[in-house]
Amino acid sequence: MTPQTTSPASANRWLLLPVFLVAVIGIGFVIGTLTAPGEWYAALTKPWFTPPGWLFGPVWAVLYVIIALTGWHLFTARPRSTEMRLWWVQMALNFLWSPVFFALHLPALGLLVIANLALVLVFFIRRTWTAQRIVALGFVPYLAWASFATLLNLSIVVLN
């Protein structure tokens, strides 16, 4: 029996994992910190189903790990694929929402951003469902949270 060796391509693949984790979680954390809800958000009328503020950080931490792992997997397998392009689009929309909603105080525009994020997630899941089921399933909780956030955003627009 001969010991298995790691090919250079395989080694490079694993070197990209911390890059994706640090980039997604790090950028998400920085954006979340810079656009933390303040007095403006506290003064808004919010629906009865608004979760406590402490819940958002842990949920996003878990989701960002899943998002990073998914992006890493797709990038190392098929970096120019439609699935990877959808991944980049959802990431841009994800990172755009907090500045639009919290920093610019534009909930209606935030609603447009987050509704498009949810739509891109649906396309992503549908696109990956047959060939990469584990990737698709990883984004199901993300879609659930983004859909909930879309409803919350819509309710804030209506109530204010």
Confidence of residue 13 (pLDDT cuts 50, 70, 90): confident
Encode pLDDT of 119-148 as tens digits. Answer: 999 999 999 999 999 999 999 999 999 999
Q: How is the chain split into domains, by residue range?
A: 16-33+52-159
Confidence label for 85 from pLDDT (cuts 50, 70 and 90) = very high
Closest among 89, 138, 144, 141 to 117, alpha carbons compared? 89
DSSP 109-143: HHHHHHHHHHHHHHHHHHHHTTT-HHHHHHHHHHH
Q: Confidence class of residue 7 from pLDDT cuts 50, 70 and 90? A: low
Q: Give how far Cα 138 sits from Cα of 9, 59, 124, 141, Å.
A: 25, 14, 11, 7
Could you tell me which of 121, 110, 126, 124 has the C-alpha nearest to residue 146? Answer: 121
pLDDT tens digits, residue range 17-43?
Answer: 999 999 999 999 999 999 999 999 999
